[in-house]
Amino acid sequence: MRRPTLRPALLGLAAFAALACVPAVLPGFMVFQASIALTYAIAILGLNLLMGFNGQVSLAQGVFFAIGGYVVAILMVDYAVPVWLALAAAVAGNAILGALVGIPALRLQGLQLAILTLVLAALVPPLVMRFDKITKGTSGISIDKPEPPAWLPLDQDSFVYFLCLAGAGLCVLVMSQLIHGETGRMLRAVRDNPVIAESFGVHVARTRIATFATSAAFGGFAGGLFALVNAFVSPDSFQLFKSFEFLAGAIIGGITSMTGAFIGAVIVVFLPEWSSHISLAMAGLIYGGTLVVMMLVAREGVAGLIGKTLSRAGAASLSMASQTKPHPKPETRTMVLAEKE
């Protein structure tokens, strides 16, 4: 009974152990990109929780990502708040904002909700420019990366990478607790049929608002870590396209898979650079075309495609094993039946 639960946990620990070796085997710029990918993975995890497990469409994850980045930058630079408290403030503030956005979202579903959240995402750059006394406008805010402890022999970039890795691990644990057990069943019930879920005693409105708040908290946490990795925030860092990047990463990786969030983040972060290496002039076309092809080929996400491939391979190996297993001869079967009689 423990094997189905223990095996994913062991695979997850092995994956994080491999990720912990990244600063030792990759050059500095790729460590920086890997840190960015981890922040994207956290934001996509929150989006997966909202879309894949609660059935609500959102294009506002970039909004919470931006707010988290600016909250951390402003608190650390203007008020000398420690990085831990700044990140906690980003999480708490975005959770409250997510709950407020989730209230009008109760009456909207599908395309209407997508348009509402898209409008919110489009408002972020103008609002950042409007409150330039706080956000510094186009000049942006430069942040000093946190220094590693004296007993830890790491440079700043590696230390920030491990902060992102620890944050991603924490979010995976939280997500795992939410999507399994009683909470996971409530989320799926609300997603599949809210009327039936309500009849079984599930508070649909409360569940949706709480899910929206949790998803926004993930986005704010990711944005705060992104500000630390980038050491700079500006309106250019949080354009409207950021929300579409998160949505593309969620769909490509698999909206009902935690592993898919990391796969989608890696694709969204590294694919543009790989495209530019192929052809600088056609980088955008290669990037967009690759995303479209991946969506067509892996309709349940790359994680779903990998899972199906592994299950088919396992079924094929079992079938081959059963075919190669020697069967008793007819004479032997007759003798056994005669002995039993």
Average pLDDT score over residue span 281-308: 74
Tell me: the pLDDT tens digits for 20-35?
999 989 888 899 999 9
Calculate mean pLDDT across residues 40-47.
96
Mean pLDDT of 100-120: 83
Cβ distance 240 to 125 under 8 Å? yes
- At 330 the pLDDT is 53
User: Would you place residue 257 in the very low, low, confident or very high pLDDT band (cuts 50, 70, 90)?
Assistant: confident
**Range list of H helices, the chain:** 3-20, 22-25, 28-51, 61-78, 83-102, 111-130, 132-135, 156-179, 181-192, 194-199, 204-230, 241-253, 258-278, 283-297, 301-324, 330-340
Give percent of the chain with pLDDT exceeding 90: 41
Residue 303: is it exposed, middle or buried by C-beta count within 10 angstroms (0-12/13-18/19+)?
buried
Give me the pLDDT at residue 162, please: 96
281, with CB counted inside 10 A (0-12, 13-18, 19+), is: exposed
Summary mean pLDDT of the chain: 85
Categorise residue 155: left if φ over 0, alpha if ψ from -120 to 50, beta otherwise. Answer: beta
| The pLDDT of residue 74 | 96
Q: Give pLDDT, residue 27.
A: 87
Write down the pLDDT at residue 166.
95
- Considering only 63-72, 213-222, 227-236, 284-293, which range has the smallest mean pLDDT? 284-293
Residue 332 has pLDDT above 70, yes or no: no
Q: What is the pLDDT of residue 2?
A: 41
Where residue 140 falls among pLDDT bands split at 50, 70, 90?
very high
Average pLDDT over residues 325-329: 56
pLDDT (average), residues 316-332: 62
Q: What is the band of 208 on the pLDDT scale with cuts at 50, 70, 90?
A: very high
Query: Is residue 191 scored above 70 in pLDDT?
Result: yes
Percent of the chain topping pLDDT 70: 88
Residue 317 burial (C-beta neighbours within 10 Å; 0-12, 13-18, 19+)? exposed
DSSP string, 168-196: HHHHHHHHHHHHSHHHHHHHHHHHH-HHH
Instruction: Please report which confidence band the pLDDT of residue 223 belongs to, taking 50, 70 and 90 as the band edges.
Output: very high
Q: Is residue 133's pLDDT more than 80? A: yes
pLDDT tens readout for residues 65-104:
999 999 999 999 999 999 999 999 999 999 999 999 888 8
Higher per-residue pLDDT: 105 or 280: 105
pLDDT at 42 over 90: yes
